[in-house]
Amino acid sequence: MSLVSLTPNRRAVLAFVAGMAVAGGGAYAVTSTTPKLSACVDNRTKVMYLTDKTRCPVGRTLVSWNVSGPAGPAGAAGADGVTRDNSGNLSIKDIAKKVLPTVVSIAVTSSTGNGTGSGSVIQSDSAKSFIVTNNHVIDDAVSGGKVTVEFQDGTELTATIRGRDIAYDLAVLQIAKGNLPTIKIGDSSKTVIGDLSVAIGSPLGLSGTVTSGIISALNRPVLAGSNDRASYIDALQTDAAVNPGNSGGPLVNGQGEMIGVNSAIAALGSSSSSSGNIGLGFAIPINQAMRVVNEIIETGKSTRPLLGVNFDPSYNGNGKILGLVRDGAAQKAGIPVNSIIKSIDGFLIKSDIDAVVRIRSYPPNSIVSITVELPGGELKTFSVTLGSASANQ
């Protein structure tokens, strides 16, 4: 899949892909036949060093404990060999075992271009199944082309495009095969910075690739694509390794639940040598994605919220309202032209992109609180009921 990269000096260029970086660790054990153990604990790193001395070097503290006595009761048996860490997360291998059967590789061939990506099976009945991916993965096949999905066992099936939403960079594929395992959907609103995150997909065509990292930021305003294919994402940010081909694949949490659709990366420059992972990957939150996906599955189309304003592109700063759509949400709420949006539901707005991304994070017809700086300089907060429009218009 071709990339568009986010450079330090250009806010509107992002690469479409995603993945994660493997994080590892280890545990060490010591045994002794003596009834007492002693160790020196480093005061800075807290690393423990077993010792037979009665004193420790400067910077380390001596600790001792008795090991004699009867053995305690055995711990509870693990469930089906599943391993969890102290936070209750599954091990990476158990997450992979759980999620891999629900992930597919996607290949697109058309007269206008070829591409690859990833997707997740989200619904399946006895006759058919639906797969979520990114719009940019299948965009070349919309006007004529072939979309093929490949499963972990090598099975290939032709897919049809059930529907897509350019503004959210989401698409749903349909295949004539049922009774497939489906990915478990999580709750992205419960995601916090530092949570374990795992991506599964086909970076660089390497299907079934599993990588891991953490959630490194929330609510990142991301604008990706060209003017006629612009996608606004209220993104989950991950430090995961992100590479071409992971586009549309799942970002899952420590329970193997899908919390995002991997969609974009930031890169240092526009050359191909700098378009790979630098630890800044972005995913569409699954709560936002599923609203769009469910609409597409049910009707073949989706909707988006409307504030009903035109922003001043020459204004450098918060979104400045250049014009109002007649009978639009902003006009009905009483927001005047030349107002500057300062915050939306408490989120500070620093640019027109911030404003659009924040509005797009809501379902149509939501009621939001918007604080603006009026043309006279005073601040005023308005309660605004967002409008609704069909996607891709």
Are 178 and 223 contained in the same domain? yes
Q: Are 184 and 261 in the same domain?
A: yes
Look at residues 391, 370, 116, 360 and name the one whose alpha carbon lies nearest to residue 222. 360
Q: Which residue has the tokens 């002794």?
A: 32
Residues 124 and 233 in one domain: yes
Q: Is 380 domain-assigned?
A: yes
Look at residue 31 and tell me if it is in a domain. no
Residues 106 and 185 both lie in one domain: yes
Is the separation of the CB atoms in 120 and 79 below 8 Å? no
Q: What is the pLDDT of residue 123?
A: 97
* Amino acid present at 193: I
Residue 138 in any domain: the answer is yes
> In this predicted structure, what is the pLDDT of residue 114?
85
Structure tokens belonging to residue 67: 């090991």
| pLDDT-flagged residues of the chain (< 70) | 1-37, 39, 42, 44-49, 64-86, 225-228, 242, 268-276, 393
Assess whether 247 carries a catalytic annotation.
yes
| 3-class secondary structure, 17 | coil
Whole-number pLDDT of residue 45: 64
- Do 234 and 356 reside in the same domain of the chain? no
HEC string for 231-272? EEEEEEEECCCCCCCCCCCEEECCCCCEEEEEEEECCCCCCH
Does 67 fall in a domain? no
Decide if 169 is catalytic: yes
CB 340 within 8 A of CB 380: no
- What value, to the nearest 5°, has the Cα angle with vertex 131 and ends 129 and 134? 165
From 278, 299, 320, give the residue that closes a domain.
299
Encoded amino acid at 118, one letter: S
The domain boundary, picked from 252, 267, 299, lies at 299
DSSP structure class, residue 76: P
Largest CA distance in the chain: 84
332 and 255 in one domain? no
Which candidate in 94, 140, 169, 195 is catalytic?
A: 169
The residue length of the chain stands at 393
Considering the domain architecture, whether residues 135 and 180 belong to the same structural domain is answered as: yes
Q: Are 283 and 260 in contact (CB under 8 A)?
A: yes
Give the whole-angstrom CA distance, residue 19 versus residue 260: 12
Residue 90 maps to a domain? yes
1 belongs to a structural domain: yes
CATH number, domain with residue 218: 2.40.10.120
CA 221 to chain centre: 12
Answer yes or no: do 211 and 277 share one domain.
Answer: yes
Per the DSSP assignment, residues forming a β-bridge with 42 are 60
- Letter for the amino acid at 352? D
Which residue among the candidates 197, 207, 216, 247 is catalytic per the annotation? 247
- pLDDT at position 182 is 98
Number of structural domains in the chain? 2
For the chain, the average pLDDT equals: 83
State the residue range of the domain holding 271: 1-23+80-299
Q: What is the pLDDT of residue 393?
A: 67
Three-class SS of 177-191: CCCCCCCCECCHHHC
Closest CA to 277 of 96, 21, 23: 21
Question: pLDDT at position 22, please?
Answer: 26
Query: Where residue 370 sits, what CATH number does that domain have?
Result: 2.30.42.10
228 class by beta-carbon count within 10 Å (0-12 exposed, 13-18 middle, 19+ buried): exposed
Residue 286 lies in a domain: yes
Question: Is residue 288 located within the same domain as residue 339?
Answer: no
Contact criterion met (CB below 8 Å) for 21 and 279: yes
Residues 266 and 368 in one domain: no
Q: For residue 8, is it within any domain?
A: yes
Q: Are 245 and 196 in contact (CB under 8 A)?
A: no
Boundary (domain end) residue, out of 266, 299, 332: 299
| Same domain membership, residue 100 and residue 125 | yes
φ and ψ at residue 387, rounded to 5 degrees: -85, -170
Kindly name the residue from 105, 120, 136, 354 that is annotated as catalytic: 136
pLDDT at 391: 87
- Both 292 and 378 in one domain: the answer is no
